[in-house]
Structure 1
Amino acid sequence: MKVKKIIPILLLTTLAGISLAACTSKKSNDKPIETNTNTSTTTQESTNESEGTFTAVIDGDVSQNETVDKSYRFLLKDVDSTDDPNDILPVMKNNGVVLNLEKSQLPDDFKIEDYKDGQKVKFVIKGLAPMTASIPPQVAGNAVKSLEKN
């Protein structure tokens, strides 16, 4: 009978000892861990702010999208770069690219009829532009700084 009483007491004592040991463990570091996030943030910002300059040929006529903003759709082929710090040319080189641009991103004297099939253009992309996985890829309009005749 004594053995039956000793086992629960022994288990209870062991659990209490483990709990106390875990709760009162000595803290080796009272200071919060400091990380230098400024370096990575600065690097990311400078990558995002770098601009790439590209040339291409209009493939087909420029069209106006039937969206609320009435943006313009430029299907471009034969894309090449004069400055590509983010190395995005390979994505656009094989199948071309589609740019959906608002009027504010185009020259002040923009007329849709002046941009015809075969016309060479120059465009500037801000940072590492988000693109669709479609063929050809589409660049988000807010990633394009400008487009003009070349």
Structure 2
Amino acid sequence: MMTKQVIIGLSFAAMLLLTACGNQGNSAANGETGTSETSEQTSSVSNSASETETTAIFTGVIQEDAIAGSDDTFSLFLKEVAAVEDDDQVVQSFQNDGVILHVPVEAYSGDLEELTEGATVQVTLQGIPIMTMSIPPQIPGNSIQKVELVED
């Protein structure tokens, strides 16, 4: 009884091994190799991603003075958000409730004291930003390309 189970198990393992080797041989016989095919697909994906990466640009009114963070960032709470350029319709997500931005210091070239309640800023986002699903949504610094103060 035990010998029968061992023979069946070995036969099954041999069949799987031969099937796996046979599939690899067929793709090599057709002139395909797994590594070059994979690298071609990877390079075409990375090329198309860089070509299609868009930016979203919008303006918003600062609801509260900018708050300095502990890790080279500051937070801005924006209301009255309006799209300037938004092909992916990202800005639509925070037009009703506003948005909280966690801006890296290097994305803003002015003084933090200029970002006061009632001032208008223009924000440029890279691609489709990462956002929390909170109300209002929050956007981390790695999605924020530039923040500029708009003169009224």
Q: Residues 66 and 112 of structure 2 are in contact (CA less than 8 Å); yes or no, is this contact kept in structure 1?
A: no
Aligned pair 1:99/2:101, yes or no? yes
Aligned length: 138
Q: Judging changes above 3 Å, is the alpha-carbon distance between structure 1 residues 52 and 18 closer, same or farther for their aligned structure 2 residues? A: same
Show the counterpart of 1:80.
82
Gap runs ≥5 in structure 2: none
Report what 1:55 is aligned to. 59
CA 55–17 in structure 1, closer or farther in 2 if over 3 Å, else same: closer
State TM-score, norm by structure 2.
0.71
Residue segments in structure 1 that go unaligned for 5+ positions in a row: 1-6
Question: SS at 2:22's partner residue?
Answer: coil
> For residue 60 of structure 1, what is the amino acid of its counterpart?
E
Cα offset, 1:123, TM superposition = 0.9
Q: Confirm or deny: 8 A CA contact 1:51 1:125 kept in the other structure.
A: yes
CA contact (8 A) 2:123 2:147 kept: yes
Verify: 1:147 aligned to 2:147, yes or no.
yes
| Identity level (%) | 24
| Separation (CA, whole Å) in 2 of partners of 1:8 and 1:116 | 81
TM-score (norm 1): 0.72
Structure 1 residues 57-111: Cα deviation after superposition (integer angstroms, max 9, x where no partner): 111222223x243x22110011111111332112221211111223321124x24
Question: What does residue 27 of structure 1 align with?
Answer: 22
Kindly report which structure 2 residues correspond to 1:111-126, keeping only aligned pairs within 5 A, or say none: 111-112=112-113, 114-126=114-126
Larger Rg: 1
Give the RMSD, CA atoms, in angstroms: 3.1
* Partners of 2:2 and 2:148 in 1: CA distance: 85
Cα contact 1:54–1:80 (8 A) shared by 2: yes
Contact 2:56–2:91 (8 Å) recurs in 1: no
